[in-house]
C-alpha cells in the first residue's frame, strides 16, 4: 500500500486478533504490559472478551481450564520474560494434563536478544518454552500471523491435546501490510481435532478380552470427560453393566449416584477386578502405575485401554487390548461390536461391588452429620455435598490436601466436567484461575473449595472475581496451615514444614477489600447458611470456614509418597 494510505492498511496487532477470531477464539486471559497492552485493548474493541488477571500463572490456569471445558485452546497472553515465565508454569501444567492451551507472549527484539545485548525483559523465550509444551513457534513477519495461529491451534487440539507457545516480538505487532492482502493471509483451521476411528482389529481384540471377564471394571479419566461424548460413554457403561471408577475430574460423566459407580469401593475394584477398561485415563502415579498390592496378584489383570495417543499404551504395564482413537469413536465401535458378542452384565460382581460401596457410603454419611466444635472436614463437607446435590449445575473447583482428598470422595458430582481440581501434577494455586474460567466459559455458578494454603497460592485473584462480578463462592477451609495447623513437628522447634499460618486469619476480610461478600463460618449450620446464600445470590463471596487445626493428615491421602529418613529414626 502506498505510504500514508492508512485506510487500506492493517498491522500485526489487528491481524493477530482477526486470526484468532476467524478461528472461533473469543476470549483472552491476560496480564497487560509492554508490548501487549494495546493488543488487549484492540482485541476488546474488536469484540473479544479480554479478562485481565493479577498474575499470569492464574491467567494461564484459566486458559488451560477453558481448553478442558470447551475443547478449544484457551488463550493466555503475557508480556516478555517475567510475565512469560509466570505463564509457563500453567502452559506446562496444561501439557501435563493434556489440555489445549496457547500461551502468546510478547518478546523483545530478536537481534538484541540473540546478541545478548540486554534488551528490556530480554530472554530467548522460544527456546525456554520448548520443553514445556507440544510445540513452540515464533512470528517474525506480520504476513505469517495467519499460518502461525492456524498452526498453534491445530497443534494444541489435534491428537493428544496440550500447550503451545506462540512468541510475538513487539516489533512484529507494529508491522503494516495491505489490508486486503492481510485478510487473504489469514488461515481458517479446518477440523483440527478429527475423529480418530479405531482399527477393527483393535475392537475385535478388546471384545475377546471382555468375553473372558468375570470381574470387569471401567476406569473413566479426564480424557473421557474432555471428549464431550458423554452419551456414548454412558451407553457403553450401561450396556456392559460393568462397574465404573471415575478419576477425580471424570466424576459426573455418569453421576456419582449411579448404581454402577464404584468410587466408594475403590480399593476393592482395583484389587479384585480381572479386566480393566481404561477410558482416557493414564495408568500413572494416581493409579500406582498399575502395579503393587493395590492391584492384587501381579499379572492377574488384563487391560483394555482407549487413548488418542498410541504411545500411551504399555507405558507402565502390558496392555492386552490397546484401542487407539478418540473415546467417542472407541465407544461407538465397541458398542456395535458388543451386539451379539455374548457379553453379559456381571451381575454377581456388580452386586458385590455395590454392597461394598453402599456400606462405605453409609459409614461416611454418618460422619458427615456432625456438629463438632471446632468444625471438622466431614462436618463442613457434608454441607458442601448438600449444596452441590441441591445445585447440581454448579461447577465445583477443589484444591488443597485434606480439603482436596476428602471433598473428592464426599461430594457427589452429577454432571460431566463439573469438577475441576489439581490434575495430574497435584498443583496448588489452580483454584481461582479455574473458577474464573469456569464462570466465564459456562456462565454457571462456581463453588471453589480451597485449603487455606492452596488459596494462598492464588488468593489475590479474588480481586479479579470481584472486578468482573463473577458468581463464584470461594470457601477457604481454614485449618491454620498446610495439612494441619497445630504445629505437629518431630524435627523440634517451630514447624517449617507444615507451616502454621497466622492463627485466626480473616480471609473473609480480603474479599471485602474489593467489595465482595465476606462471611465467617464456625459451624456446619453457619456454613450452610452462607453457602446457600452465596449460590442463590451469585455474588462474589468468600467464606472463611474455620476447621479444627488437628483434623487433617500430613499430605492428605498421599502421605505414603513422602520419602523416609532412616538416619532420623536412629
CA distances from 228 to 263, 326, 450, 506 (A): 21, 10, 27, 40
CB-count exposure of residue 357 (10 Å: 0-12, 13-18, 19+): buried
Backbone angles phi, psi at 359, to 5 degrees: -60, -45
The one of ligand ADP, ligand OXT, Mg ion, none whose footprint includes residue 221, by CB under 5 to 8 A per kind, is ligand ADP
Strand partners, 478: 546
CA distance 462 to 474: 9
For residues 460-489, which are near Mg ion according to CB under 5 A? 479
If DSSP states are collapsed to H, E and C, what string results for 338-392?
Answer: HCCCCCCCCHHHHHHHHHHHHHHHHHHHHHHCCCCCCCCHHHHHHHHHHHHHHCC
Shortest Cβ 465–ligand OXT spacing (Å)? 18
Asked if 307 touches ligand ADP (CB under 6 A), the answer is: yes
Q: What is the DSSP secondary structure assignment for residue 258, as one 8-state letter?
A: S
Q: Which of 421, 452, 495, 548 binds Mg ion (CB under 5 A)?
A: 452
CB nearer ligand OXT, residue 442 or residue 555: 555
Q: Which of 186, 187, 249, 438 binds ligand ADP (CB under 6 A)?
A: 249
Asked if 146 touches ligand ADP (CB under 6 A), the answer is: no
The continuous run of DSSP H or E covering 216 comes out as strand 216-220
Q: What is the DSSP string of 453-478?
A: HHHHTTGGGHHHHHHTT--EEEEEEE
Q: Which of 140, 196, 372, 557 binds ligand OXT (CB under 6 A)?
A: 557
Closest CA to 71 of 198, 199, 188, 222: 222
Asked if 487 touches ligand OXT (CB under 6 A), the answer is: no
Asked if 222 touches ligand ADP (CB under 6 A), the answer is: yes
CB nearer ligand OXT, residue 207 or residue 545: 545
CA distance 41 to 47: 10
CA distance 507 to 512: 9
CA distance 7 to 491: 71
Shortest Cβ 158–ligand OXT spacing (Å)? 28
Asked if 395 touches ligand OXT (CB under 6 A), the answer is: no
Asked if 247 touches ligand ADP (CB under 6 A), the answer is: yes
Three cell numbers written together for 209: 478380552
Shortest Cβ 488–ligand OXT spacing (Å)? 12
Q: Which of 281, 413, 440, 530 binds ligand ADP (CB under 6 A)?
A: 281
Asked if 427 touches ligand OXT (CB under 6 A), the answer is: yes
Query: Are 345 and 237 within 8 A, CB to CB?
Result: no
Q: Which of 270, 308, 454, 517 binds ligand ADP (CB under 6 A)?
A: 308
CB nearer ligand ADP, residue 165 or residue 226: 226
The one of Mg ion, ligand ADP, ligand OXT, none whose footprint includes residue 217, by CB under 5 to 8 A per kind, is none
Footprint of ligand ADP (CB under 6 A) = 97-98, 160-161, 221-223, 226-227, 247, 249-250, 280-282, 284, 286, 307-309, 312, 326-327, 424
Residue numbers at the binding site for ligand OXT (CB under 6 A)? 248, 263-267, 286, 360-361, 364, 400-405, 408-409, 422, 426-429, 451-454, 477, 479, 482-483, 552, 555-558
Amino acid at each position: 500500500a502506498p505510504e500514508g494510505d492508512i485506510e487500506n492498511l492493517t498491522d500485526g496487532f489487528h491481524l493477530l486478533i482477526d486470526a484468532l477470531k476467524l478461528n472461533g477464539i473469543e476470549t483472552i486471559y491476560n496480564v497487560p504490559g509492554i508490548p501487549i497492552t494495546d493488543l488487549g485493548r484492540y482485541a476488546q474493541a474488536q469484540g473479544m472478551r479480554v479478562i485481565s488477571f493479577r498474575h499470569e500463572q492464574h491467567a494461564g490456569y484459566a486458559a488451560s481450564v477453558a481448553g478442558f471445558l470447551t475443547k478449544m485452546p484457551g488463550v493466555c497472553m503475557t508480556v516478555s520474560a517475567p510475565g512469560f515465565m509466570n505463564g509457563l508454569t500453567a502452559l506446562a501444567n496444561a501439557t501435563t494434563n493434556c489440555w489445549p492451551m496457547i500461551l502468546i507472549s510478547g518478546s523483545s527484539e530478536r537481534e538484541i536478544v540473540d546478541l545478548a545485548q540486554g534488551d528490556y525483559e530480554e530472554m530467548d523465550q522460544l527456546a525456554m518454552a520448548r520443553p514445556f509444551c507440544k510445540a513452540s513457534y515464533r512470528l517474525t513477519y506480520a504476513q505469517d500471523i495467519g499460518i502461525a495461529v492456524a498452526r498453534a491451534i491445530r497443534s494444541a487440539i489435534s491428537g493428544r491435546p496440550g500447550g503451545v507457545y506462540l512468541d510475538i516480538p513487539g516489533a512484529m505487532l507494529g508491522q503494516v501490510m495491505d489490508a486486503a492482502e492481510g485478510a487473504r493471509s489469514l488461515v481458517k483451521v479446518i477440523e483440527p481435532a478429527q475423529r480418530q476411528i479405531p482399527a477393527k482389529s483393535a475392537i475385535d481384540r478388546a471384545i475377546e478380552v471382555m468375553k473372558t471377564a468375570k470381574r470387569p471394571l471401567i476406569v473413566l479419566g479426564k480424557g473421557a470427560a474432555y471428549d464431550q461424548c458423554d452419551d456414548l460413554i454412558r451407553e457403553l457403561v450401561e450396556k456392559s453393566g460393568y462397574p465404573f471408577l471415575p478419576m477425580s475430574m471424570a466424576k459426573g460423566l455418569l453421576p456419582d449416584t449411579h448404581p454402577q459407580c464404584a468410587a466408594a469401593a475403590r480399593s476393592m475394584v482395583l484389587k479384585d477386578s480381572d479386566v480393566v477398561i481404561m477410558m482416557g485415563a493414564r495408568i500413572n502415579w494416581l493409579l500406582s502405575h498399575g502395579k503393587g498390592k493395590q492391584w492384587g496378584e501381579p499379572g492377574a489383570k488384563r487391560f483394555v485401554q482407549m487413548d488418542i495417543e498410541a504411545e500411551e499404551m504399555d507405558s507402565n504395564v502390558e496392555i492386552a487390548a490397546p484401542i487407539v482413537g478418540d473415546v467417542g469413536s472407541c465407544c461407538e465401535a465397541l458398542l456395535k461390536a458388543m451386539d451379539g458378542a455374548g457379553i453379559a452384565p456381571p451381575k454377581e460382581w456388580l452386586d458385590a461391588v455395590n454392597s461394598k460401596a453402599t456400606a462405605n457410603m453409609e459409614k461416611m454419611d454418618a460422619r458427615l452429620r456432625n456438629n463438632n466444635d471446632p468444625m471438622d472436614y466431614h462436618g463442613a463437607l457434608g454441607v458442601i455435598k448438600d449444596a452441590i446435590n441441591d445445585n447440581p449445575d454448579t461447577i465445583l473447583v477443589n484444591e488443597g490436601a485434606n480439603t482436596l482428598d476428602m471433598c473428592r470422595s464426599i461430594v457427589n458430582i452429577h454432571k460431566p466436567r463439573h469438577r475441576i481440581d489439581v490434575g495430574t501434577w497435584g498443583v496448588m494455586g489452580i483454584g481461582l484461575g479455574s473458577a474464573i474460567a469456569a464462570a466465564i466459559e459456562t456462565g454457571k455458578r462456581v463453588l471453589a473449595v480451597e485449603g487455606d494454603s492452596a488459596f494462598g497460592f492464588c488468593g489475590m485473584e479474588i480481586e479479579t472475581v470481584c472486578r468482573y462480578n463473577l458468581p463464584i463462592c470461594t470457601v477457604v477451609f481454614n485449618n491454620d496451615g498446610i495439612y494441619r495447623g497445630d504445629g505437629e513437628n518431630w524435627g523440634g522447634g517451630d514447624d517449617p514444614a507444615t507451616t502454621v499460618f497466622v492463627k485466626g486469619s480473616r480471609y473473609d476480610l480480603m474479599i471485602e477489600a474489593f467489595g465482595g461478600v465476606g462471611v465467617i463460618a464456625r459451624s456446619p449450620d453457619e456454613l450452610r447458611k452462607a453457602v446457600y446464600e452465596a449460590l442463590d445470590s451469585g455474588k462474589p463471596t468468600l467464606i472463611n470456614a474455620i476447621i479444627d487445626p488437628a483434623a487433617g493428615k500430613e499430605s492428605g491421602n498421599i502421605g505414603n509418597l513422602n520419602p523416609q529418613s532412616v538416619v532420623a529414626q536412629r
